[in-house]
Copies of this chain bind each other. A is one copy, B any other.
Amino acid sequence: MSTPFPSDLEIAQAAEIQPISDIAAEAGISEARLEPYGKNVAKVLLDETTTAENALKKGSKYIVVTAVTPTPLGEGKTATAVSLAQGMGKTGRKAMLTLRQPSMGPTFGIKGGAAGGGYSQIIPMQKLNLHLTGDFHAVTAAHNLLAAMIDNHLHHGNELNIDTRSISWRRVLDVNDRALRNVVIGLGERMDGVPRQTGFDITSASEIMVILSLATSFDDLRERLGRIVIGYNHDGDAVTAKDLKADGSLAVILADAVNPNLLQTLEHTPALIHAGPFGNIATGNSSIVADYVGLEHADYVITEAGFGADMGAERFFNVKCRVSGLRPDAAVLVVTVRSLKSHSGLFKIVPGKPLPEDMLKESPADVEAGAANLLKHIEIVRNFGVQPVVAINAFPTDFESEHQKIREIAEAAGARVAIHRGVAEGGAGATDLADAVAAACDDHSELVYTYEDSDSLETKLEKVATKVYGADGIEVAPAAKKQLAQFEQLGYGNLPVVIAKTHLSISSDASLKGAPTDWALPVREVRLAAGAGYVYAICGTMRTMPGLAKSPAAERIGFDEKGTMVGLS
């Protein structure tokens, strides 16, 4: 971005924000369902109308925004989703966004925030990037109360005969704190508990965060909380939150968090911000109930799935839609010139450092050299039976010839294509994209799952690896095979699967760019998320608690001498 372009925070602070009650009224959300949190944010209360049936009845269009395999810098997926929603408004269509809530931890780490960018942002961005309405805090509190009840149970005699070595329920905090990854607790004297090794994850990695995102109602949330498996007893039986009598209290703690949060874009498009599960070990999708509310009120509901189409979108189709009963009408594939140049394998991008100089030179050939990745993602979307729309997120440093090259490649693959300049121009820069997406929605989509509920867990993993990722097969470690058998024996064989792998390659090897072939997915370990309702396979080193950089954003966030908040971006 050229120097005189204002910062995201400056744009957000200069924005004219509308009272959230006006946004709600415009969207047809009744006053009675609105719980204000300040003047510019409100919760939309779930009620008996918040169901899949009602969401489907209106015939609204349901669009998921996904992307090619991203560079470490990200490709502007949220900015594109916001641009598209604003573009829908500019072209006279009634749209609503449903997005994940950003995690506070990374706000003070590298990123300084996550709310779109430039003239395609969610506001008030200071609220969005901090506490918002406290849903993450509620997840943290519920998660840690369950942990305290586990250790309290051990302390008071362990009546349930829990095998302490099997306890998989860790603690969570919404802060980047590497020193909490591995800890020993219960030290001190006899009255200070039972010593054991455990650790902390970031709150977005909590199973309760996934439960919040996948629950179809508050009753469903309560039942899922009760089903959480925290470990096993010495007979190998699962020990649940219900066994510990914790489910009622967890539900009480989450009673407000279950309601989605209403905010707005810079152009006053309503945006429901709700839940924020991790994209690598979890589903990486916003909440089902927010989508229900959106489809009940808008003609176009635009949601976003984390990372590339192999990651968040695969789970959107195979897990979220399976649970919600909703069917997408189009999938937007975000692509940038720099992402395809990166997939050429000719350059190395390092976060926090400037792009390699050669990457900024005009070169359609370098773009074409990375085309395999885009083509693979188009194929992934098509295989789910959904209409793809390739959205080129234009940067000021791009060249027309490079955009043209992407258009040729995607159109040759039969996809609709549109360039958007939403970051620089807002909705006015995304009217072509809005038209292309609307046309795709009028075309035929019919969701096809990659696997059946009745497939074995191993078959499910294999089908995702081969049919989605393009692997030759999977290599399941003996310990993982044993775990899968145990899960099936305990009655969890019908659950869908999530594959926890790197997001920086379609394969499980982050260094492989483009569309890797001739590889097998190594399944090292599998874990059960019984409350969320899936089994996940660990394929690589998964970090569930980030660290802070040497000079983190936290050192620059604060107030200037005029009392204006600075440092968020």
Q: Name A residues whose Cβ lies closer than 8 Å to a Cβ of B.
A: 35-39, 43, 104, 108, 130-131, 133-134, 137-138, 140-141, 144-145, 147-149, 151-152, 155-156, 173-188, 191-194, 197, 222, 245-249, 251-253, 255-256, 547-548, 550, 552, 554-559, 565, 567-568
Q: Within the oligomer, what is the number of copies of this chain?
A: 2
- A187 contacts which of B43, B144, B183 (Cβ < 8 Å)? B183
CB pair B181–A554 under 8 Å, yes or no, is: no
* A176 / chain B contacts, CB cutoff of 8 Å: 148
Q: How far apart are the CA atoms of A556 and B247 in the complex, in Å?
A: 10
Whether A179 pairs with B155 at a CB distance below 8 angstroms is yes
CA distance A141 to B191 in the complex (A): 27
In the assembly, what is the distance between CA of A196 and CA of B209, in Å? 30
Is B131's CB under 8 angstroms from A137's CB?
yes
- Please determine whether A192 and B187 come into contact, CB atoms closer than 8 angstroms: no
A559 contact set on B, CB distance < 8 A: 222, 248, 251-252
User: Which residue on chain B has the smallest CB distance to residue A196?
Assistant: B179
B-chain residues with CB within 8 Å of residue A255 when the two chains form the complex: 130, 565
A177 to B144, Cβ gap below 8 A?
yes
- Do residues B141 and A175 form an inter-chain contact, with CB atoms below 8 A? yes
Provide the residues of chain B in CB contact with A174, threshold 8 Å: 141
User: Which listed residue (B134, B182, B186, B247) contacts A192, Cβ 8 A?
Assistant: B182
Cβ 8 A contact of A191, one of B191, B192, B547: B547
Please measure, in the bound complex, the distance between the C-alpha atom of A252 and the C-alpha atom of B556, giving whole angstroms. Answer: 11
With both chains docked as a complex, state the minimum distance between the C-beta of A313 and any C-beta of chain B, in angstroms: 31
Known contacts A138-B131, A555-B245; A181/B192 CB under 8 A = yes
The reply to whether B245 and A149 contact each other, CB–CB distance below 8 Å, is: no
A145 touches B175 (CB 8 A): yes
Q: How far is the CA of A558 from the CA of B225 in the complex (A)?
A: 12
Q: Is there contact, CB below 8 Å, between A180 and B185?
A: yes
Kindly list chain B residues whose C-beta atoms are within 8 Å of the C-beta of A184. Answer: 183-184, 187
Task: List, in ascending order, chain B residues with CB within 8 A of A131's CB.
Answer: 134, 137-138, 141, 253, 256
Q: Which residues of B contact A247 (CB under 8 A)?
A: 558
* Distance A247 CA – B252 CA, assembled complex (angstroms): 34
